Amino acid sequence: MNKLTIVVSEKKPKTIFEKIWDSHVVKHAAGYPDALFIDRHFIHEVTSPQAFDGLKKRGLQVFNTKRTTATADHNVPTKDQHLPIKEALSRHQVETLRKNCKEFGVELYDLGHPFQGIVHIIGPELGLTLPGMTIVCGDSHTSTHGAFGNIAFGIGTSEVEQVLATQCILQYKPKTMKIEISGKLGKGVVSKDIILYIISKISASGATGFFVEYAGDAIRNLSMEARMTICNMSIEMGARGGLIAPDETTFDYIKGRKFAPQGEVFNRAVSEWKKLATDEGAVYDQVLKFDAADIGPMITYGTNPGMGMKVTDRIPTTAEMKEISEQTSFTKSLEYMGVEAGSKLLGKAIDYVFIGSCTNARIEDLREVASMVKGKKKANNVEVWVVPGSKQVQEQAKKEGLDKIFEAAGFELRDPGCSACLGMNEDKIPAGKYCISTSNRNFEGRQGPKSRTFLASPLSAAAAAITGKVTDVRELL
């Protein structure tokens, strides 16, 4: 599986996306979608049971068990994870995953396993996610892995079944888009702000049909974990996925990880990975450029991730919406959120702070939050949940004493899982309550029926936890 054959054409200049795609096409036939080989497949308890059922009905086996890794994350409790799951349906779903993995011979990082965690957090931390690969998972935030310079995207359960059965997926090649961010980020501005800013500029459907490559010095200067946050939210502008060409930052991160190539094999891999970068003169279907200096700490005010603004800005007015149909959706959204068109959110009281999800629950995120709250206490009106992205992140946080900082601040450090990002387990924001969340979606009811979500960076969320209201983080720095 570590044989590296990245075929680089001598003739036509190619983008990194085209190089990886073209080297994974098993069959290209006129009139048919490409049969694309999948190097790495991640599965979890929610979107896999019906796929395994499909295999059983057809009498098929898993094509290559070494290429699929399972974990339990979406529907697991984040309190007392060592005890049996109380809720019957959730318990049954996790037990079904166990049964299926055992029957079909798939490696499972189950609750209690030192490698368990959110699927998009454990892949990179275990070195399962590598440059040049094709990676899929029955989860739209699979785009996270693209930070390592690979083609990673979310798929439905019928497609999970295809990959289990054949290690391939049928796909039409999407169009390519380059998003370039140049310049220096301002004080208090982090990678979450970059991606919220981009989505606010191009809308929740602005990249539908495209695969995005993020480039520019502002992206190059980010750590691997910060890059993952950007790629993670590619789907929130409709993109099939998003990637960043690998560089020394990428190779340093991968080196020595559990399942990454080791020693001489690693060195050879790096020289192959270096060939992945987009060739000079390669053409994208669309190119967008933004100036890093224009980005501020961001917050969303509405019910899709495109409805975002700088935290110091005013919510748009209805008159600023061009179409009547847009005006109707906009008004409905603000009504749901209980906010006024044309007003500012700064100073608005909040009820919950959620630090977690595949977007922002890695160790750097927790360190960022801890640096902001060290020696401080949360406001009385807020409840704060810190849900680490994986068992390894949780252990590392304890090792560094972050748990003590959170405890002293009145934050609750929980067990790993997707938690209040999607409110599948009991971690739900109550109806009508406001939550500043480091997750990725502010859809109606996403964090619980009638819950109201403001998306923001871990730094901004930590600031809000201390003040109890929507805050410009720069005032606390």
Of 143-202, which residues contact other proteins (CB under 8 A)? Answer: 154-159, 161-162, 165-170, 172, 174
Token look-up 């050879």 returns 268
Q: Does 81 bind other proteins (CB under 8 A)?
A: no
Measured between alpha carbons, how far is 388 from 417 in angstroms, rounded to an integer? 7
Token readout for 218 is 């502002």
Burial class (CB in 10 A: 0-12, 13-18, 19+), 380: exposed
* Site residues (CB under 8 A) for other proteins, limited to 288-347: 304, 325-326, 328-329, 332
Q: Single out the residue of 234, 244, 251, 300 nearest to residue 127, CA to CA.
A: 251
Query: Can you say whether residue 182 is alpha, beta or left, with left for phi > 0 and alpha for psi between -120 and 50 degrees?
Result: beta
- The minimum distance between CB 91 and other proteins, in angstroms, equals 10
- The minimum distance between CB 449 and other proteins, in angstroms, equals 6
| Chosen residue from 9, 61, 205, 221 binding other proteins by CB under 8 A | 205
CA distances from 126 to 68, 114, 291, 326, 455 (A): 14, 11, 34, 44, 28
* Site residues (CB under 8 A) for other proteins, limited to 393-412: none
- The minimum distance between CB 410 and other proteins, in angstroms, equals 28
- The minimum distance between CB 333 and other proteins, in angstroms, equals 9
- The minimum distance between CB 139 and other proteins, in angstroms, equals 6
Q: Does 127 bind other proteins (CB under 8 A)?
A: no
Enter the DSSP assignment of 233: G
* Site residues (CB under 8 A) for other proteins, limited to 37-56: 37, 39, 46-47, 49-50, 53-54
Which residues, listed in sequence order, are joined to residue 434 by a DSSP beta bridge? 452
* Site residues (CB under 8 A) for other proteins, limited to 226-285: 235, 238, 240
Q: Which of 92-100, 184-192, 219-227, 292-300 is the region at the interface with other proteins (rule: CB under 8 A)?
A: 92-100
Residue 164 or residue 373: which is nearer to other proteins going by CB?
164
- The minimum distance between CB 132 and other proteins, in angstroms, equals 10
Residue 29 or residue 319: which is nearer to other proteins going by CB?
29
CA distances from 112 to 57, 77, 390, 403 (A): 31, 12, 11, 19
Residue 61 or residue 221: which is nearer to other proteins going by CB?
61
